[in-house]
Structure 1
Amino acid sequence: YYPMALIGQLVWGDLEFGKKGEGIGRNSYFSRLVTQQITKVVNITPLLNHNLVGVSGALWGLAMSSVDNTLRFENDPDRLASAVPEILVRPIIDDRIALGDRVALNIVDALICQYQGEDRTMLHFSVELNQLWFSTDAVALDVLSAQEIDRQRKASKAPEAKTNLELYQNAALLEIGVSDARNIDVTRLP
C-alpha cells in the first residue's frame, strides 16, 4: 500500500470504503491485478492534457490506475506531484519489486493531441499529429508530451496553462527517468 498522512474521501471500490476507525482512509492500496497477476506492463496513454500535471501521461495514468483512494491527492498539484512518483517506486512485491519495474514499454498515442479539456472529448481543442511515440522512459515521454501540448495550445491561440513540472522533476530525483528535455534523445522515423 501507499501511505500518506492525509485522510482521503473514500468511495465505493476503495478497500477501506465503509470501514470506521482511526487511520481509515490514510492508505492507497495497490490493485491485486498489478501485485499478483501482471508481470509486465505495456503502458499506453493518449496525448491528452491534464490541468494539474500537464499531461494525462504514462506516470499519472499508471500510478492513478494502480491504487485506490486517489481522491486525497487528485485535486492538489503538490500532493499529486509527490504521490505519483512515490507510488511508482514503492515496492509492491517482497519489498524489492516496484510498480515502475514492471513497465516494459510506454507508448503515447499521439495520433490526435487534445491540448484542452482533460478527459472530456473536445475535438475543437485537438489537432492531428498522426504519430506514435515509444520509450522505456515514462518521464521523458511525459515531458515531451507536455511540451507538445503547450506547443499546440500556443499554435491554436488557446488560453495558456502553466504546466507544473514538479511531478517530472520528482520522478527524475527518484531515478524513474529523465526530466530535462535537453537530455532526451529523440529519433524520428519516416
Structure 2
Amino acid sequence: MVATGRKSLDSISGADADTTLVARTKTGDVSAFGELVDRHQRAVYGIVSRMVDDRDDVDDIVQDVFVQAYRSIDNFRGDAAFSTWVYRIAVNMTIKQMKKIKARQAASIDDPLNGLADQLASCDFDKPERQAERKARDEALRNAIAKLPEIHQTVVVLHYLQNCTCDEIARAMGCSVGTVWSRLHHACKKLRGELTDWFEVAKVC
C-alpha cells in the first residue's frame, strides 16, 4: 500500500469529514469541494424540490446553491456545521427564486412540502379518496409559507423540513437560540391563522 500522507476520509465521518474537505477547498483543492457536493447534493435537492415544483428550476437552483457556496467558502468559519450552512444558502436562494418563478409554478403538485406538512399537520389524508384534498392542503401550506417574511421562511424550513435544531439554526444565522424560537413562534402563529380551515400547526413554544 502506498502512503498518501493524508488521512483517508473513509475513516472520518460526518462533520469531521466536512471540516477536512472545507479546509482543503480553501487551499484551492477543487476536487475536495466536489466531494462536499457529492455528500450534500441529495439533501439540498430535497430542500429545493419541496419548495419548487418544476424539476428544471430545481436543478438550476441546486447548481446555483453550490456555486454560491464555493464562492463564499472563505466566509465559512465553522460556527455551524457545513451542512447547516449550505442548507441556509439553499433556503435563501430558493426563496428568492420562488419570487421569479411563481407565475410558472405547476398547478398540479405531486408531493409538495410533504415532510414539513407531516410535522405541522394533524389531519389524516391517507385514504385514496382524500388525495385531492391533501394536495389542496399542501398547496395551501406552500402558499402560506411563501407569505411569511424571508427570515421566518428560513427558520421554518430549516427546523421542520430539514430537522435542524434551534441551536444549529442559531449558529448558522448568527443569532441567539431565543431569537430562533421567537421567529418560529411568530411564523407558526401566522401559519395557524392562514391555515385554520385545514389543520392545526404544531406549537413550538
TM category (shorter chain) comes to 0.3 to 0.5
- In the superposition, the TM-score normalised over structure 2's length comes to 0.32
- In the superposition, the TM-score normalised over structure 1's length comes to 0.34
The structure in which a higher percent of residues are strand is: 1
Structure exhibiting the larger radius of gyration computed from Cα positions: 2
Higher relative contact order (CA 8 A, sep 6+): 1
